[in-house]
Structure 1
Amino acid sequence: MRDAYERIISFNQNRDARFLPMKYKLMVSSAFRFFRGSCHLFYEDLAQNQTWDDQTVAWVCGDLHVENFGSYKSAQNVVYFDLNDFDEATLAHPTWEVIRFLSSVFIAGKELNLLEDDLKRIASTLLNDYLTALQLGKAFALEKETLDGILKKYIKDVADRDPIAFLNTHSLLDNHNNRTLIIDNKKYFAIDSREMKQELIVKFQDYLNSLNTSISESNEEFEVKDMALRIAGTGSIGLTRYVFLVYHNIEKMYYLYDVKQAQPSSLSPVLKSTQPEWKSEAERIQTIQNYMQYITPAGLSHFSFQGLSYVVKALQSEQDKMDFKQCVEKPKKFTDACHNMAKLIAYAQIRSSGRKASASVDELIEFAKQAQNWKSKLLDYAYNYYQQVLQDYTSFCKAYAAHQPTNPQVKK
């Protein structure tokens, strides 16, 4: 008997138990959140039930759903829209990337009250968008100057966001004009050990200054002012994650850094293709992200502490992900919002082609030309798996409720 609840509990058993209730509470909040938090289920199932043949190997981000596209600023302060989560990134079959994306289209579309017939048409349209872009064999960037419609306004809003206002939502000034992080015990949590906190501050400050390539005589441009535990996303909750408040002594400005623990990809147990050897999981994530994105986010690097590796990047606003609320009961708007996402999948595979045993551009083009051999099977699988997710979500919610402690009756 299929037991999604036990599989999820088992997968997360080695994570920080303090924060797992938050993850599970988010996962029962909607079928899409459940899908986001159970990437490992998807690939365990896919490896057993795939109905089409795909011998091509390409770089994939691994956890590609409609909310893992978003806007971010580069080191040059230019805003881009691209794939933006590479925790599960690895060398795998390109159809695996596409099928997870299309499954997410069905699940997200249902929550937007779109009809299933409309969703089937949308999925087919997006698959064609991907294949057309792949056959062109050329990757493009998505910037506000090259976009129109819903995405153009979205990127403009991100570009116009006030950095000081953003900083003030995460930190505050005390009476001595010193800035500290806001510990709200919802997103940010204090670190219990003062000694460990101080050691982390020293290590991360030294790390940032070691990256300094400026002509400045000072080797202490960066000064870490504060840090905290951070909770964000869904799938990564329970892994160690920090936010660092950093002051740049030359620019006289504050910056926020997101530092997230890296772990092996959820695809690893089911992969048959030979993978490159990496010095750390964080090196894997950073390297593949650099392959697949047009421009990487500001501050992207990797850092090690006490035997764990972490991916480092400038903290981006959680508002920098697409808000699909305006697509409720509007299939055309939803199609328009996802249209560029489908093309970005192709662009990312093209950019990373030929790197460390991945298929060449010509091989990817030929792969796309042979789509008639697997296209209908891919669409059928995405639709059927969407139905499976709804069933798993329902059973997970029931099991979750059954495992919650019951409150004693209050005596009147």
Structure 2
Amino acid sequence: MKKLPRPDERRPVLLARRNLKMARSPHAYVRGNTVQFYEWLHSQRGHALPHGPAVWICGDCHVGNLGPLAYADGDVEIQIRDLDQTVIGNPAHDLVRLGLSLATAGRGSRLPGMVIARMLEEMVRGYEQSFSGKLHHPKHKPEAVKLVMREATTRTWKQLAKERINDTDPVIPRSGHFWPLSREERAALRTLFAQPELKQLATKLKSREDDAPVTLLDAAYWVKGCSSLGLLRYAVLLGVGNGKDRDYCLMDIKQAVQAAAPRHAHAHMPRDNSQRVQQGAQHLSPALGDRLVAARFMDQGVFIRELLPQDLKLDIDIMETGEAMRVAHYLARIVGNAHARQMDEDDRKAWLGELRQRRGKNLEAPSWLWQSVVELVGSHEQGYLEHCRRYALSTHPVGHSG
């Protein structure tokens, strides 16, 4: 097996992996390059967006950051599943980010521009429905969502273990995804999971006994995601209970860093980034917020959750025209519900009225949304090609053959 990086060798390897993932497609580049999006938001064009009510927003609302999440009681819903960038901010930012992601996915599916324009119209219709009536999940799911929901609701711990750690034995095999720990990291993890709050997190789900003993069986550095590569990320395998009644759970520990997403000027949020993520999850994604703990680990803020078999991401890269419309409408409705549940009736009406203004004669999407997405698609396409050029030169320098 290929030699795995030591803790002090991780950074250059992780950076190379991130660059490779972002070079695979324009959609992958958009998912991984949040910085370019936030730079645009801070620009004059970004400042021209309408200002909705100050609510918790995802901050990085692309397609891959939505998917099935399980509640502690076992129910499963599509919600926002990644909240690293969550802040109290302008809901228009989530709309533009989602529009950019959908448009890029549409381009990757070779859909014509006319269809992408209609996708944005359907996105706006779905989003607005959350502000014009009772909050509920849309009944008619697109096929891609039906497939991932069927998989989520039937998955078991054995399937999760096979997918994530290759086996149901109480170890995490070292591999390309799981790297060795330093002595300092291993000791810090044992101290972390000796805390009562973390023990309670392990016993909270699946009707485990509250006083069941919790044992740290194994842990590894977890190479996962794209924009988070290079941050602290760990997989921790715990045993809950003893003997034949022992249950296993896989904990996901992720470093919380300062959000690049613009926040509302007068917003009062926790200064600790892990607590910010926890509060954002509680407001935007109740299924996740109900089982996420903020903590300190090696002088860094981290947030911790048990990874459940039902927790999956939507992988929507190839779409046909009809499916693209349904996906845009459905996902925007999910985001709209997350925003709307935080607003009172007056704020909902005011924001809905703002969304319905400044529409073009032949396009139902607001002009500010359409113009923003067009501009961002162009700049990200240019950025993607430049990224690929730099990546190609770094891996195959001029004059190198083979």
| Shorter-normalised TM range | 0.7 to 0.9
- Which residue number in structure 2 is paired with residue 310 of structure 1? 302
> How far apart are 1:314 and its partner, in Å?
1.6
- 2-structure distance, mates of 1:216, 1:392: 49
Q: Does 1:16 align with 2:11?
A: yes
- Which residue number in structure 2 is paired with residue 365 of structure 1? 349
CA contact (8 A) 2:142 2:323 kept: no
One-letter amino acid matched to 1:240: L
Q: Does 1:201 align with 2:190?
A: yes
- 2-structure distance, mates of 1:343, 1:337: 10
> How far apart are 1:206 and its partner, in Å?
3.1
- Which residue number in structure 1 is paired with residue 150 of structure 2? 156
- 2-structure distance, mates of 1:99, 1:53: 11
One-letter amino acid matched to 1:339: H
* Pairwise CA RMSD: 2.8
| Equivalent pairs, count | 378
Out of 36, 61, 76, the residue aligned to residue 58 of structure 2 is: 61
Out of 135, 141, 151, the residue aligned to residue 139 of structure 1 is: 135
Q: Does 1:46 align with 2:32?
A: no
Q: Rate the CA distance shift 1:410–1:389 in 2: closer, same or farther, 3 A.
A: closer
Out of 327, 338, 356, the residue aligned to residue 337 of structure 1 is: 327
CA contact (8 A) 1:27 1:37 kept: yes
Q: Rate the CA distance shift 1:303–1:147 in 2: closer, same or farther, 3 A.
A: farther
Q: Rate the CA distance shift 1:57–1:346 in 2: closer, same or farther, 3 A.
A: same
- Which residue number in structure 1 is paired with residue 313 of structure 2? 321
Out of 95, 105, 108, the residue aligned to residue 108 of structure 1 is: 105
Instruction: Provide the secondary structure at the position in 1 that maps to 2:267.
Output: coil
One-letter amino acid matched to 2:297: F
- 2-structure distance, mates of 1:410, 1:37: 30
Out of 188, 212, 236, the residue aligned to residue 178 of structure 2 is: 188
- Which residue number in structure 2 is paired with residue 386 of structure 1? 377
Out of 23, 30, 34, the residue aligned to residue 25 of structure 2 is: 30
> How far apart are 1:122 and its partner, in Å?
1.0
Q: Decide which moves more: 153-162 or 50-59.
A: 50-59
The within-5 A match list for 1:222-371 is 222-249=214-241, 251-267=245-261, 270-271=262-263, 273-296=265-288, 299-316=291-308, 320-324=312-316, 327-328=318-319, 330-353=320-343, 360-371=344-355
One-letter amino acid matched to 2:148: Y
- 2-structure distance, mates of 1:63, 1:25: 21
Q: Rate the CA distance shift 1:72–1:318 in 2: closer, same or farther, 3 A.
A: closer
- 1-structure distance, mates of 2:396, 2:111: 36
The within-5 A match list for 1:59-138 is 59-136=56-133, 138=134
Instruction: Provide the secondary structure at the position in 2 that maps to 1:255.
Output: strand
One-letter amino acid matched to 2:303: V
> How far apart are 1:134 and its partner, in Å?
1.8
CA contact (8 A) 2:99 2:120 kept: yes
Offset from partner CA, 1:261-310 (integer Å, 9 cap, x none): 0001112xx54512324151011001111111243267311221121011
CA contact (8 A) 1:243 1:256 kept: yes
Instruction: Provide the secondary structure at the position in 2 that maps to 1:113.
Output: coil
One-letter amino acid matched to 1:333: E
Instruction: Provide the secondary structure at the position in 1 that maps to 2:303.
Output: strand
Q: Rate the CA distance shift 1:209–1:147 in 2: closer, same or farther, 3 A.
A: same
- 2-structure distance, mates of 1:302, 1:244: 16
> How far apart are 1:220 and its partner, in Å?
5.7
Q: Rate the CA distance shift 1:216–1:127 in 2: closer, same or farther, 3 A.
A: closer
State the TM-score, normalized to the length of structure 2.
0.85
Offset from partner CA, 1:139-193 (integer Å, 9 cap, x none): 2247xxx5545223421221111321321333467xxx96210211x211111x2
CA contact (8 A) 2:84 2:277 kept: yes
Which 5+ residue runs of structure 1 have no aligned equivalent?
Answer: 1-14, 354-359
> How far apart are 1:126 and its partner, in Å?
1.1
Q: Rate the CA distance shift 1:72–1:276 in 2: closer, same or farther, 3 A.
A: same
Q: Rate the CA distance shift 1:194–1:407 in 2: closer, same or farther, 3 A.
A: farther
- Which residue number in structure 1 is paired with residue 163 of structure 2? 169
Q: Rate the CA distance shift 1:297–1:153 in 2: closer, same or farther, 3 A.
A: farther
Instruction: Provide the secondary structure at the position in 1 that maps to 2:294.
Output: strand
CA contact (8 A) 2:88 2:267 kept: yes
Offset from partner CA, 1:45-94 (integer Å, 9 cap, x none): 12211334325322210000111110122211222111111100001111
CA contact (8 A) 1:70 1:83 kept: yes
CA contact (8 A) 1:212 1:219 kept: no
